[in-house]
Amino acid sequence: MSHAKDNGIDIRNNGAPLDLNLLKGIRVNKSAVERRSATMGTRRSVKKEWQAAWLLKAVTMIDLTTLSGDDTPGNVIRLCAKARRPIRQDLLDNLGMSDANITVGAVCVYHNMIETAIEALEGSQIPVAAVSTGFPAGQISLDQKLEEIEKSVKAGAKEIDIVISRAHVLRGEWKELYEEVKLFRKSCGDAHMKAILETGDLTTLTNTARASVVCMMAGSDFIKTSTGKASVNATLPVSLVMVRAIREYYEATGIKVGFKPAGGIQKAKQALEWLILIKEELGDEWLTPELFRFGASSLLGDIERQLEHFVTGRYSASYRHPMA
């Protein structure tokens, strides 16, 4: 079930009734998941012009992010300039992609930088995503969380990255989690909602699978691994569990839910591993900015460096490829 949106995303998850019996039946075989994940970067190899093409595709799926305590309007304006033109023009010319209009998928900022980002991105159709609900810990009242979402939507954010209450997962309070995420979704209105599980806090892969399903039943348009602020962020085993939950939800409901790994994905080689994961587990339909995003800040710089190596045959210093 979907409808068109003016920010380029036209897929919405209208949710489903909470099914506690389904949750009870979810069990994850950790060793099998780890074995499958370990083969992700070894079973397939993408080289030369095919690698360059995949890396350019990866750029279009980046939520270019700045979520630091020292963020300033100047930092955000520079970030947005890079979002508009993420790859140097001379590299695009050499790759025959000068007219491809490659941009990142979104710019992700704190609430107080929304208006700065919107102004800097004017005319680009790049949506602004805002983190909300007491990001990253989520340790504020429910009323404060809902108010935060509503303020960010009113300020012009087209996507809202919410954090779930991890305590609900750890206590097995699935009905409470479902009701919370449904309220978040209602407050988002027409804005797309990404539910951050912070999987490093959830202790088990089974908890991750169950939380993924509850968030999708409650209407999340995306499920996201992490805030990027925890000691453990996006990993391939966690991602495999989440994308298989997405696949099973799609098979059961016909609704496509997006996936966003975030935190710790810094190298082009890692980006390729996640793209291979999505292609093999969900198929080419999910390899679009509408259904897959990287939450990243430094990834773009390494992708640009790898593309320069493809064009020139030489590796340049990392400092020549600043994120913004």
Please tell me which residue in 82, 194, 224, 256 is annotated as part of the active site.
224
Which residue type occupies 82?
K
- 258-260: strand order across its sheet: 258-260, 222-224, 192-196, 159-163, 128-131, 106-109, 62-65, 294-296
Contact 149, 132 (CB under 8 A): yes
Handedness of CA 15, 18, 22, 23 (dihedral sign): positive
CB neighbour list of residue 119: distance below 8 Å, 6 or more residues apart:
none
DSSP H helices, 7-113, are 20-24, 30-38, 48-59, 73-84, 89-94
For residue 183, how many other CB atoms are within 10 A of its CB? Answer: 15
Catalytic residue, chosen from 63, 161, 201, 221, is 161
State how far the Cα of 100 lies from the Cα of 119, in Å rounded to an integer: 23
- Transcribe 221-266 into DSSP letters: SEEES--S-SSS---HHHHHHHHHHHHHHHHHHS---EEE-BSS--
Task: Tell me whether the omega of the peptide bond preceding residue 136 falls within 30 degrees of 0, making it cis.
Answer: yes
| Catalytic status, residue 161 | yes
Residues recognised as catalytic:
161, 224, 260
